[in-house]
Amino acid sequence: MSSAANPVSTVARIAYLTSDIVVDSQSQAPSISAFSSTYHALSRKSTHKPNIIPSHFGADPSSTLLRNKATLTSFTATASSQVLTRLVLHLGEISALPIVLHLAVVDDLSDVLLLRSAVPYFLVSKTVQQAHDNALLAARLAKVERKAVVHAFYANSSMGALEEIEEEKVIPFLLAGKRIETPPATPLTSVNGNGHANGHANGHAVAAVLDDAATITLFKAYEAAALETLSLVRRPLRPFTSRGSSEPHTVILTLGKEDLPAVEGVSYVSVALANPIPYSRLLNAIPSSTTRVIVLEQVYRWHTKWTPLYLEVVSALQQRDSSQEFVVQSGILGDSSQVQTPDVLKLIEQSTSSSSSRLTLGTVPTPGAVNTLPHVPKHESAYTKILSHLFHERLEVSNSPELAASQGEIATTPEYALGRVRGQLDSRAALVKSVQDLLQNGDLDSDLHSLISKWVLAKDDGLKSRSLGKAIVENLESTPISHPAAKQVLALRDYFPSLSRWIIGSDAWSYDLGSSGLHHAIASGLDVNILILDTLPYSSRNNADPHRRKHDVGLYAMNHGDVFVASVAVFSSYSQVLQALAEADRFKGPSVVLAYLPYQSEDAPALDILKETKLAVDSGYWPLYRWDPSKEKNGQEPFSLDSDAVKNDLKQFLDRQNHLSQLVRSKPQMAAELVGSLGETVKEARKKMAQQSYNDLLNALDAPPLLILYASDGGAAEKKAKRLANRAKARGVATTIATLDSYTLETLAEEEQVVAFVTSTAGQGEPPQNGRTFFKSLNAAAARGDQLFQKLRYTVFAMGDSHYWPRAEDAHYYNKPGKDLDSRLEKLGAGRVVDLGLGDDQDADGSETGYKVWEPLVWKVLGVDSVEVTEAEPQPITNEHIKAASGYLRGTIAEGLEDRTTGALAASDTQLTKFHGIYQQDDRDIRDEREAQGVEPAYSFMIRVRMPGGVCEPHQWLAMDQIADEHGSGTFKITTRQTFQFHGVIKRHLKPAIQDINRVLLDTLAACGDVNRNVICSSIPTMSKLHAQVFEFCKEVSNHLIPQTSAYHEIWLDKKLVAGEALKDFEPIYGEFYLPRKFKVAVAVPPTNDVDVFANDLGFIAIVGPNGELQGFNVSIGGGMGVTHGNKKTYPRAGSIIGFCTPEQGKYVAEKVMLVQRDNGNRADRKNARLKYTIDRMGLDVYTSEVEKLLGYTLPPARPYTFDRNVDDYGWHTGEDGKHHFTLFIENGRIQDEPGKEFKAGLREIAKIHKGTFRLTANQHLLVSDVADADLEDVKRLLRLYKLDNLEFSGLRLSSSACVAFPTCGLAMAESERYLPLLIDKVEKMCEENGLRNDAIVMRMTGCPNGCARPYLAEIAFVGKAPGNYSMLLGGGYYGQRLNKIYRESVTEPEILAILSPMIKRYALERLDGERFGDFTIRAGYIAPTTEGILWYERSGGEGEHREAAGGDVAVAA
């Protein structure tokens, strides 16, 4: 089989096909082994399946080889001193085992030759073909002789034709028996049977040489294996290959890769077998005419006088005829690609003139020099940037890759770095002594004496030590002093500044603490900081060899008692990283900071690193902590635990990972403090388990004839299952209902009654969350061919949407979980009693259509189809029932807050907390992991502030910043409703957080829920007077429509009703049922529609008179963004203008519009409860007349106005009152600190000095407003310092917006906030290539169809359907005046880029003057315009040639 291949893949293939076990040595993360890709490819197509065991970088591969013994084991590695020195220690044991060590070398055999003397066989391959053949020979030799073979081959051999052996021939070759040998009559000598010297051209025999018996035995085994290999590959494999002159005067023996020119009188002998070497065979290769032997070996870093092959040659030649004179010299074989005949002649000439010095031929690298600096993975800059930011010019990385250029790669090792640090600290100590000696000089100038005294006091201060040291040097140079200490001070001037010295390394140091250099640093007592980056992803933690678990460096260092230790994760807590690094720098002594940075490769997106970090921190695998032993001296606790999740799950963490158990044993008081509340939790858990066991026992005794198991994400399938259960009970059927995941296959196999399965569909045909474990087990059992369910009788009802994935190739996603469940159960032996029922959201009654057919068949099987049910079915509990029974929004929230057994609130209470501005959520990044651990989801809460008009004072901003740190996730978000939103607030922090919000005269009441929410208004920085009027109008409307219940103050602010039950709450506007759905109000000031006024239930468009005074507002009603995938009864709608009102009438108009919606909205179906549906059902004219009836007057006609944009006006603006305003770009509104973008810290510093206000925009950006002239430069300085004034972004990015989505939003189906910036990176390149960098194109993304980021008014929009999958919409109006329309139902990133690339190019070439992208897509025929919301689905899917088809039909919105 002929092919072109490289040596690494060639050897990897042979190792894979010949071995039972392959141990593959991994490269330093994030790089992967050079052999891995070949193994991965072979695993998919080869019939042979060896066990591939990775040996992680820094680990000892010997233990893996010795522990995993087999008929034949192969070890593959790229040769390095770190790997091979570890092998040397165990070669005595390894050499007696059938192991092949395939070692890839680049240009130097120095490291691999360390193994030569300790192994029976050592082969060297120079070409790819030789590597292939020798790999086979090595496998045969190791398997037959049961001895270790080292096969060193050059990884960078030139590509070329390769004859490979077919896979089916390999195993027979290995299993072939030994050939029968005829024993020689005499010992092996240099003479063949014909009496002539082997390889001796002139036929003159040499004196007989008696070889060592052990060497003879090994060599004969080699020859036998080589002969067997020859019969397979049809190519000879010789230990020595000679070429050149037949009667040479000079023989050049080479060990290494060479391509030397023919030279008269010179013979070249290339060595392929470096061990064993029978002297007789070596002498046979040297003709009798030879007078000079030059041994060239490719060993650039050989530190002893004599090289390995040279010693063998000298020993062999000593046995030749003593009368023959020889000159034998050693040399280095360099890169011979450029070697010419004169170079060889020059070598011979040098050997003649100097017989003692080591020769060189070819280009030999300069020791210590490197051509390129060591590569630093880009993700590691997350930590190095923080170090640079914290310590600036004080920072010194003692093993910086930049040192390699001048000092060689050894400069990057920890041992070398520690030596550098020790030398620097010794020099600084010498400087301190010289300075103190100088102080004793009574003749010192008073100024110099003062400077030196100050430096001695401030020598450990980074800034002062540098400036004072500079002044001392200048003084000494300008006024020389004869004192000897002065010369010493000047000689040591570089050590005046106090530096922060760091050594940065990887987790490879964790495998062998004793020999990694880390032990020496920890035990040194030096003031040095060590940053260890651990890159092993949490999800890959179990892939490593379990016998070589990494040591816990943190505990190891803490045991020393005088070492500062911290464990940090920048993608979990940026502020904790800053704190830990700063404390490490201040600590006098060794400091070890363990930094988590999990990634597989440099291409890994930051989003994946974030998810892996959260899993590790939440599970306790990577706890965040700081250990400062210096605090003990002050009577303080030295240990600080910084990760809440570890506190919550401390017992599981201690049992599982044993990270802190020793610490707890040594500090009993700490143990008591940390786990003091654990006992009650355990008691409660045991009570629950006992109750569950009792219930299970009763169920087993009762043996109900119907078991209903359901899997549901959104609740629809759960409702169907509960409805089926209620109807069964009404018919007298004993019924049990549970989730799929609550049953194991073994338990289900014992069920003899009918089991009804009800499941919905999630994502791309995936099972719902609470059924995934069951589905995994079911699939595994089906794959094994088990017959578990011989007794089981079942039926399945599946719920899905046939148009959710409209493309023909995606049709199989429709009801896939239900279909798979039905077929798998049958395959496992279960009996189907009713055919699969399919509920389709596209049917007239949705899933009810299919359900009505399926349910009667179930009753028939159970024999209760004739039972007449006269009782009315109990109504399902809806939001309307919850509101009515809540006692004006109280429910049992107060009791739920006191329940410490769970991090959640009751389901009904989570509907009520929305009215209080709170959403219950859980971290979806780690939901599966926590379920696997058997613990509840990582519940937390989102808090949204009510802040009408989005205006915030500096002291309020500082409070929000502090609340985020003390109660939330450390970040907060500016929302599209012009307010603040906090995530990650755990239950016990809810009340303190809300109380802190109220202390600065803000609240959260009505920020969410079925009430009027936060009223928003345009920011208009240039019109100060008008903004003041509009802002006051916003507050007036908000205050007028605020709920009047006292529940908020009772629950959160502890203000109880004074008269007990005698005093009842009353809601004059809302009543006890509140509104059918949420109600949103916005106020826009033309020409800027930055609030997207038409996206709101009620919009006020300011009308300004000629004198700049606010005259009133045009009134728009019926806007709304929410849609449900697959439900065509839902659609977005842009508001309709119904008339004009004055500012004084505004709040009453708002009230009456809301009252008509209160009384006429659809309370039976929340999906159709918004005002937009009420208007379309009643008709706009009828609705308007109802509003006017309540007002008592008719609204006058709307007045003219003009909008021209809906994006923010970035940069500096000056208002009419002379005050200045700066609009910042904050991508997607996230206020956080990250390397290079410390927005949170910067805004905190601005708030400390700012005397004006902050204005939040509805596009999630921020204005620093009302800056007086006197304060302008200070604000500009801070903006510049924290890079907050950077507006050098593309027009596309400046016009983008995204909702939060994963990981906290429970409704999210796909990424949004975390993904949109990455997508824009790629799309804006298209814009730049076509000259559109500065053109604003409004692009928005949401993780679900509810529309929080107002996607349906964007020019380009993406609405999440499943992870990585979005609906794509086009054609929205640039200033929010027109809805877009679905262009493609389902797209992934490659499809998005493929669609946009030609579209953007065409827009750049064909657009009209002033034509916006949304308008262009309509004119160019990509998409039809949406004239009104109710027609949104019509003509979706593109126009003409751009129309998307699905199975012959146009893809319509699902």
Active site residues: 944, 1013, 1078, 1080, 1299, 1305, 1344, 1348
> Dihedral of CA 1253/1242/1323/1429: which sign?
negative
**What is the three-state SS of 962-1004?**
HHHHHHCCCCEEECCCCCEEEEEECHHHHHHHHHHHHHCCCEC
Nearest 5°: CA angle at 82, between 79 and 88?
85
Task: Annotate 102-168 with three-state secondary structure.
Answer: EEEECCCCCCHHHHHHHCCEEEEECCHHHHHHHHHHHHHHHHHHCCCEEEEEECCCCCEEEECCCHH
DSSP secondary structure, 9-54, as one string: HHHHHHHHHH-SEEEEEPPSTTS--TTHHHHHHHHHH-S---EEEE
Integer angstrom CA distances of residue 57 from 80, 88, 487, 1066: 11, 17, 48, 69
HSE of 259 in the Cβ direction (CA atoms, 13 Å)? Answer: 7
Q: How far apart are CA 1395 and CA 1253, in angstroms?
A: 43
C-alpha 235/C-alpha 130 separation (Å) is: 10
Is residue 1367 exposed (0-12), middle (13-18) or buried (19+ Cβ within 10 Å)? buried
- Closest by CA to 1213, choosing from 1258, 1255, 1249, is 1255
Query: Among 29, 996, 1187, 935, which Cα is nearest to 534's?
Result: 29
Tokens of 842: 């596209």
832: helix, coil or strand?
strand
Provide the sign of the torsion angle of the four alpha carbons 99, 100, 104, 110, taken in this order: positive
- The two tokens of residue 397 are 């990385």
CA distances from 1397 to 474, 1059, 1213, 1359 (A): 62, 68, 35, 20
Q: Cα-Cα-Cα-Cα dihedral of 55, 60, 65, 66, to 10°?
A: -150
Q: Are 1353 and 1094 in contact (CB under 8 A)?
A: yes
- Token pair belonging to 233: 């590959």
Helix residue ranges per DSSP H, 354-509: 381-391, 404-407, 414-439, 446-457, 462-478, 484-491
- What tokens appear for 1411 in the block? 């034509």
The answer to whether 781 and 745 have CB atoms below 8 angstroms apart is yes
3-state secondary structure 556-570: HHHCCCCCEEEEEEC
Residue 1117: phi, psi to the nearest 5?
A: -135, 155
Using an 8 Å Cβ cutoff, are 522 and 559 in contact? no
- The gap from C-alpha 1053 to its chain's centroid, in whole angstroms, comes to 40
Closest listed residue to residue 1229, CA positions, set 1296, 1278, 1307: 1296
3-state secondary structure of 839: strand
ω into residue 401 within 30 of 0, thus cis? no
Give the residue from 1234, 1363, 1242 showing the smallest Cα distance to 1309: 1363
Of 1117, 1109, 1169, give the one whose Cα is nearest residue 1143. 1109
Residue 371: how many CB atoms within 10 A of its CB? 6
**1131 DSSP β-pair partners:** none
**Please, what is the angle between helix 954-967 and helix 1239-1249, to 10°?**
140
